[in-house]
């Protein structure tokens, strides 16, 4: 398939962004629909992105002292019911095992939608003394939330994620951990995914069911909508009390622990696509691209071309660059288009004349620029170019995002802002009614509470005294 054909086969990114998204994820073989409604198959190209995300996040978690573990997927129904808000939030979307090993079960089992209840239950068995604290554990796992409207990566019945669950002796330590992990996510989103994010506390309406406070990071997609890319919850003693998770403190008193939980999921792959893509397809940041450099022989039938292509590819691989040569029996143009569609950051083209001149042509997916570069020190040249792409993609995203944050002082302004594909900063009195009204009129939700003083001091909806400035946006 050549690029023209691909461009024809995918919807116009400006005119029909949702269809463009679907076309691109299917044609680049990132994902496919599973046989059960709402499920997805993450195909090798999509899963390789997830592996890169996992590796980058995992080392950041471990650097803060977190260790991985694995807890059972099946949660007794009674566990979910221990925390009142939690069960109200999750009960409508759980999948239930009622039958196993040829028998009806005495107690139905919930397939985990998240694991606070079962993990706190285990912690309550392990935790004895303040010496056992903090407990800092993460798990990489699948979770199930039965959603009505699903879209691959963004919202599916089953998805992959990581969930960190920590316990601390004091409120302050648990809050510090909550914010620490939020900042780990933010640094990761910006430096690895090249996606600038806005972080802050969620409103009561938008917080995690069972949390005292939820902090989120929000990323602007190309259509101006927001995607909640990660959350970190301060759980106070809510789950500790529900599962009787106590420890003997230094002062000899038995106390409930304070806990946090935090997670990101395969949603991040959706964020990558919708933050960086263009009409040609994906544009992947080098740090998560499964293939960072594709090397394509030109006039491969000529003597010495494939040999030189292999030599250069091996040099790059030896320098820990994810490089690959494409020797398939297709035209170079066909290959160019396919790898552009797949979002590979750099393309090297090498033909007989390039080789004679000890050079190659270098194409950058992010800027669409092509230039000749010498083969001397090619590893260094490519490594630097990849770094520059990574930085340029973040800069570009940040510029786009910053140019699309507007301020509104009334409902008209909010509506106009989101219609113009912007995030809208507006003051808010703190009441649920005004939040619901914005949702009704502008189909926008509060994303996070902005730090600092209110802009006008008056709620953009009811005009009463404002408590917070909030980012409102339409959201995925």
The DSSP output letter for 458 is B
Does position 431 interact with its own copies (CB under 8 A)? The reply is no
Does position 339 interact with its own copies (CB under 8 A)? The reply is no
Of 243 and 446, nearer to its own copies (C-beta) is 243
Buried b or exposed e, range 209-242, using 16+ CB within 10 angstroms: bbbbbbbbbbbbbbebbbbbbbbbbbbbbbbbeb
The DSSP output letter for 116 is H
- Given the rule CB under 8 A, which of 93-101, 172-180, 301-309, 388-396 is the region that contacts its own copies? 93-101
Least distance in angstroms from the C-beta of 20 to its own copies: 22
Q: Which of residues 62-91 bind its own copies (CB under 8 A)?
A: 67-76, 79, 91
Structure tokens at 426: 């507006």
Whether the Cβ atoms of residue 273 and residue 157 lie closer than 8 Å to each other: no
**Nearest Cα to 48, choosing from 324, 393, 396, 329?**
324
Does position 100 interact with its own copies (CB under 8 A)? The reply is yes
Of 83 and 349, nearer to its own copies (C-beta) is 83
Least distance in angstroms from the C-beta of 355 to its own copies: 28
Taking residues 123 to 152 in sequence order and writing x for each that binds its own copies by CB under 8 A, - otherwise, the string is --xx----------x---xx-x-xxx----
Return the SS3 of 282: coil
Question: What does the alpha-carbon distance between residue 435 and residue 205 come to, in Å, rounded to a whole number?
Answer: 8
**Directed axis angle between helix 44-63 and helix 267-276, to 10°?**
110
Q: Is the peptide bond before 351 cis (omega within 30 degrees of 0)?
A: no
Does position 95 interact with its own copies (CB under 8 A)? The reply is yes
Taking residues 154 to 183 in sequence order and writing x for each that binds its own copies by CB under 8 A, - otherwise, the string is ---xx-x-----------------------
End-to-end CA distance of the chain: 31
- Given the rule CB under 8 A, which of 18-26, 97-105, 280-288, 397-405 is the region that contacts its own copies? 97-105
Least distance in angstroms from the C-beta of 352 to its own copies: 28
Whether the Cβ atoms of residue 43 and residue 153 lie closer than 8 Å to each other: no
Of 123 and 471, nearer to its own copies (C-beta) is 123
Interface residues with its own copies (CB under 8 A) are 32, 34-36, 39-44, 46-48, 50-51, 67-76, 79, 91-102, 108-109, 111, 118, 121-122, 125-126, 137, 141-142, 144, 146-148, 157-158, 160
């Amino acid at each position: 398939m050549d690029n023209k054909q691909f461009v024809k086969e995918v919807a116009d990114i400006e005119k029909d962004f949702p269809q463009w998204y679907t076309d691109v994820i299917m044609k680049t073989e990132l994902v496919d629909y599973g046989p059960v409604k709402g499920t997805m198959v993450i195909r090798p190209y999509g899963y390789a992105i997830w592996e890169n995300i996992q590796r980058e996040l995992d080392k950041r978690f471990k650097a803060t002292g977190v260790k991985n573990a694995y807890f059972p997927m099946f949660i007794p129904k009674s566990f979910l019911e221990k925390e009142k808000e939690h069960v109200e939030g999750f009960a409508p979307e759980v999948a239930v095992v009622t039958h196993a090993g040829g028998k009806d079960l005495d107690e139905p089992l919930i397939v985990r939608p998240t694991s606070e209840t079962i993990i706190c239950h285990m912690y309550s068995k392990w935790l004895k003394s303040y010496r056992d604290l903090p407990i800092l554990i993460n798990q990489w796992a699948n979770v199930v939330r039965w959603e009505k409207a699903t879209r691959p990566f963004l919202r599916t019945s089953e998805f992959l994620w990581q969930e960190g669950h920590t316990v601390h002796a004091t409120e302050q330590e648990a809050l510090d951990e909550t914010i620490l992990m939020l900042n780990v996510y933010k640094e990761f989103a910006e430096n690895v995914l090249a996606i600038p994010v806005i972080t802050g506390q969620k409103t009561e309406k938008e917080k995690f069911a069972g949390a005292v406070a939820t902090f989120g990071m929000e990323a602007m997609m190309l259509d101006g909508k927001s995607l909640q890319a990660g959350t970190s919850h301060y759980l106070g003693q809510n789950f500790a009390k529900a599962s009787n998770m106590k420890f003997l403190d230094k002062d000899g008193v038995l106390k409930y622990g304070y806990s946090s939980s935090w997670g990101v999921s395969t949603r991040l792959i959706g964020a990558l696509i919708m933050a960086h893509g263009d009409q040609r397809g994906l544009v992947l940041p080098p740090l998560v691209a499964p293939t960072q450099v594709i090397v394509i022989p030109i006039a491969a039938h000529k003597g010495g071309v494939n040999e030189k292509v292999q030599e250069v590819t091996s040099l790059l691989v030896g320098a820990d660059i994810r490089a690959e040569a494409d020797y398939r029996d297709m035209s170079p143009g066909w290959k160019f288009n396919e790898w552009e569609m797949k979002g590979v950051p750099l393309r090297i083209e090498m033909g007989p004349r390039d080789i004679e001149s000890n050079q190659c042509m270098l194409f950058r997916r992010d800027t669409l620029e092509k230039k000749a570069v010498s083969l001397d020190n090619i590893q260094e040249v490519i490594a630097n170019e990849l770094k520059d792409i990574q930085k340029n993609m973040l800069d570009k995203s940040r510029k786009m995002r910053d140019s699309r944050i507007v301020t509104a002082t009334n409902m008209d302004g909010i509506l106009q802002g989101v219609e113009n594909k912007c995030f809208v900063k507006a003051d808010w009195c703190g009441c649920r009614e005004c939040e619901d009204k914005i949702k009704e009129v502008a189909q926008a939700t509060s994303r996070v509470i902005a730090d600092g003083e209110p802009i006008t001091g008056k709620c953009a909806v009811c005009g009463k005294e404002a408590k917070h400035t909030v980012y409102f946006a339409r959201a995925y």
